[in-house]
Amino acid sequence: MSGDLARRQADLVAALTSGAPVPPGFDAHLVGVARTALLRKRAGEVARAWPMLAASLGSEWQATFAAWAATRPTNGSFRDGFDLARSLRPLTGEAARELAEREAAWHYDGESPPTRRSRAATTARTWLLRLRSR
Amino acid sequence: MTEEYGVGIGWRPEIAGFVADLPGLRFVEVVAESVHDHGPVPEGLAALRARGVAVIPHGVKLSLGGAEPVDPARVAHLATVAAKLDAPLVSEHIAFVRAGGVEAGHLLPLPRTREAVDAVVANVARTAAELPVPIALEPIAAVFDWPDDELTEAAFLTAILERTGALLLLDIANVYANARNRGTDPLELLDALPLERIAYCHVAGGAEAAGVYHDTHTDPVPPPVLELVSALSARRRPPALLLERDGRYPPAEQLRAELDAIAAASGYPAVT
């Protein structure tokens, strides 16, 4: 088997990140161990980027993140947390505020990477947010 | 890195205060992707540079082992960061982290085949051509292996080092983890590697879960890893050794004790 390293690497990444079957010949148990470790690592990284979201789920954070992320390859911790936070709406308390502040400060359509809004746009949106929450 | 730097530590924002207070420190490492190539160097790192501490950018996302060519923008970033920090060298992994446009989110092992050697050699050449300083390559800890390995680990690594002319960043904790998980002898690997090519070593902690030892960087350095540091130093002492800690940071006293233990195991002066 030579000349197809690119395809075989892609198959392995798909098995680890997208729920695709483990490629033939690999130790399925050990690849599963790696997949679990990967999800744990991602959960920790997203928790650092979205501390209030993670804190709001407490001991359920790890399992909630893993269930959401098991078939979703990472787009980076910040964007992963953004997607997960939106999927868990309505959020409450600090987690809701964390998401609202980021919705105000970032333009993110869920398709392309989030981009920071101008300072003026962020201020206006934060104001609107405060008015609405009165 | 011909200079002897002794014992260092991976610089992370969370432990920047602790690192700044180490009186004998002569080198640190920073995750290359965490440093902006435009804009100022993080304050803590700039302060270390000002007192003559060397800073080595350590890349984690180049994917040198990918079958696809390395992303020129990522190479340019690494080169810029190396120049900004006036680094003596940079380091990256013998691994791949993405394929077919999908990020794995972690360092993944390569098949130990000639085809994979070719892929790494080509990507290291593309990278080295843009870098202002030498590159050291780090073999990773693998939780699983590919089914069709043609080469032993030592032969695989030696082939890559010889053909690229790169230096070796030997992670002692990875040597320990792989040997333990594969049931092989870590000393046999040390005896088969070109130890004279070592630029520096990583030392880190790990933990066993479900029968597999994980190189977590969030647990204490276990005694057998320190014993391997001694065994390596007895063969040929590496010019520098670096403690990697990436989370669940322990009290300063404990981190100091780990640094002292690495110094004792290698015979370098304590930096604490």
Q: What digits encode the pLDDT tens for the residues A10-49?
A: 999 999 999 999 999 999 999 999 999 999 989 999 999 9
- Which of A1, A13, A46 has the most B C-beta neighbours within 10 Å, making it the best mutation to test the interface with B? A13
* pLDDT for residue A1: 43
Amino acid identity of B112? R
Closest by CA position to B194, among listed B152, B226, B243, B159: B159
* pLDDT for residue A123: 85
State the average pLDDT over residues A118-133: 80
What does the pLDDT look like over B206-246, one tens digit per residue? 999 889 999 999 999 999 999 999 999 999 999 999 999 99
How sure is the predictor about B3, in pLDDT bands with cuts at 50, 70 and 90?
confident
Q: What is the number of domains present in chain A?
A: 1
Percentage of chain B modeled with pLDDT above 90: 94
State the average pLDDT over residues A96-100: 96
B67/A30 Cβ within 8 A: no
Q: Are strands B102-108 and B96-99 parallel, antiparallel or unpaired?
A: antiparallel
Average pLDDT value over all residues in chain B: 96
A116 touches chain B (CB under 8 A): no
Helix locations, chain A, DSSP H:
5-17, 28-49, 51-57, 61-69, 77-87, 93-105, 119-132
Would residue A76 be called left, alpha or beta, if left means φ above 0 and alpha means ψ between -120 and 50 degrees?
A: left
The better pLDDT of the pair B208, A130 is held by B208
* pLDDT for residue A3: 67
State the average pLDDT over residues B61-85: 97
Containing structural domain, residue A121: 5-132
State the average pLDDT over residues B131-141: 98
Residue A89 has pLDDT above 90, yes or no: yes
Instruction: Kindly report the pTM of this predicted structure.
Output: 0.92
A17/B212 Cβ within 8 A: no
Using CB atoms, pick whichever of A24, A44, A73 lies closest to residue B103: A73
Residue A133 has pLDDT above 70, yes or no: no
B210/A33 Cβ within 8 A: yes
Task: Write phi, then psi, for B69 (nearest 5 degrees).
Answer: -60, 145
Nearest residue on chain B to A43, alpha-carbon basis: B105
Q: Which domains does chain B have, with CATH numbers?
A: 6-266 (3.20.20.150)
B144 touches chain A (CB under 8 A): yes
The CA distance from B198 to the nearest CA of chain A, in Å, is 28
What does the pLDDT look like over B142-193, one tens digit per residue? 999 999 899 999 999 999 999 999 999 999 999 999 999 999 999 999 999 9
Please tell me what DSSP assigns to residue B129. Answer: T
